[in-house]
Amino acid sequence: MLACHPAKMLSFNRLISDGDLVIVYEKHDSMKAVTVCEGSVLQNRFGVFKHSDWIGKPFGSKVFSSKGGFVHLLAPTPELWTMVLNHRTQILYIADISFVIMYLEVVPGCVVLESGTGSGSLTTSLARAVAPSGHVNTFDFHEQRAESARADFERTGLSSLVTVKVRDIQGEGFPDDFSGMADSVFLDLPQPWLAIPSAAKVLRNDGTFCSFSPCIEQVQRTCETLRTHFTDIRTFEILLRTYEVRQEKMQSSREDGNDSNGSLPSKRRQCSDGSYVLGSCPSISSVMARPCGEARGHTGYLTFARVKCVS
């Protein structure tokens, strides 16, 4: 997924080969991760796609099924991965992920500790941020989930950057050998306050901390506990509003005495063949944008803090 290995770097000359992980893009909310395997096929509502047809094509290609339907084959990125991964738990999405990495000041070379691993959505982006020389140590108390996460990181080519361990961080804290070693700690736990003393111990001076909690009561207790060892405690909520764009024709109210038709924007939508159903009245065409009608209303609260500096 990352360009750590020159062979994996995106390029005009990089062609899809047997064993590559590709993201099969149908439309923006319908994608699938597929590992290319000579002799294998992908079947979806557009028909049957032979993997052998994909091999040798550049990433970003449009490929066709036996029925003539098509999909695009994209190179995986952490953002695309977040949209296709198996949900073993509730996951973090792009807005929270991006903000967490920026606010934790994660840069190449950093050592980051995370608990729990969950479905590995954030972990994937953390790995990208610490590459090539840093490391993400992620802990989950669920053995099977840790194993699946490990398999995912293997598949996405991140296993050299991520170590998954089975451990109950709330109960046991982070392992002692990380004392003073971590640049950042991220917690997504039901009772994060239980792990805070341990987080303070593993963080370097001025190290950064973040806890993600869906409920304000969790935030309340987290902040109270943080005040002992941490400073610069701030809580945020981040959401993403998306927009839809379309070209619409609006009737002019001025000309041709068509005023009686009213001057409201035409409700007529673009037809499947691209043309518009319109009367004979003069109209003005323009590209317009509006927020999408539905959106995620809440993901969680992000509480950040910094270890008090003992100089």
Partner 1 sequence: MSESNSSSSRVTWEGCSVLLDINDGDRLVFARLSPAAKLKIGNKNCSLQPLIGRAFGTVFQVDTAPNGPYLSPAQVNVNNAEEIGDGQGNNEMDKVNVNNAAQARDGEVNVESRDNRALVDNNTAQSLTGEDIEAMRRQGARGNEIIEALIANSATFEKKTSFSQEKYRLKKQKKYAPKVLMRRPVARSICEAYFKKYPSKIGFLRVDTLSLLLSMANVSSNSDILVVDMVGGLLTGAVAERLGGTGFVCNSYFGQAPYSMDIVRIFNLSDEICKRILRSPISDLLPKESPEQVLEHDVCNVESQSNDQTSALASMDEISHSSENGISDIGIENTEPAIEIRKAPKAGERPQKEIIDSWRENGFSSLIVAAPELDAWTLVRDLLPLLANSAPFAIYHQYLQPLATCMHNLQLEKMAIGLQISEPWLREYQVLPSRTHPCMQMSAFGGYILSGTKICNSTANSSSNRTVLL
What minimum distance in Å lies between the beta carbon of 229 and partner 1?
6
Give the angle 57-60-66 at the CA atoms, nearest 5°.
60
Stretch that binds partner 1, among 63-71, 115-123, 172-180, 187-195 (CB under 8 A): 63-71
Q: Which residues within the stretch 245-264 sit at the binding site for partner 1 (CB under 8 A)?
A: 245-247
The interface with partner 1 within residues 119-178 (CB under 8 A) comprises 125, 128-129, 131-133
Q: Omega before 297 cis (within 30°)?
A: no
With CB under 8 A as the contact rule, which of the stretches 148-156, 170-178, 214-222, 249-257 interacts with partner 1? 214-222
Which letter does DSSP use for residue 67 in this model?
A: T
User: Is position 286 annotated in a ligand binding site?
Assistant: no
- Following DSSP, what letter does each residue of 134-176 receive, concatenated? -EEEEEES-HHHHHHHHHHHHHTT-TTTEEEEE--HHHH-S-G
Asked whether position 18 contacts partner 1 by CB under 8 A, the answer is: no
256 or 296: whose CB is closer to partner 1?
296
229 binds partner 1 (CB under 8 A): yes
> Hey, is 270 helix, strand or coil?
strand
The nearest distance, CB 94 to partner 1, in angstroms, is 6
14 binds partner 1 (CB under 8 A): yes
Q: Which is nearer to partner 1, 58 or 175 (CB)?
A: 58
Please tell me whether residue 215 binds partner 1 under the rule CB under 8 A.
no
Number of residues that bind partner 1 (CB under 8 A): 89
Does 277 help bind partner 1 (rule: CB under 8 A)?
A: no
Between 159 and 220, CB nearer to partner 1: 220
CA 208 to chain centre: 21
For residues 102-121, which are near partner 1 according to CB under 8 A?
102-103, 105, 107-110
Q: What is the DSSP string of 71-121?
A: EEEE---HHHHHHHS--SS----HHHHHHHHHHTT--TT-EEEEE--TTSH
Contact in structure between 70 and 45 (CB atoms under 8 Å): no
Cis peptide before 132 (omega within 30 of 0): yes
Binding residues for S-adenosyl-L-methionine, as ranges, are 119-122, 140, 168, 188
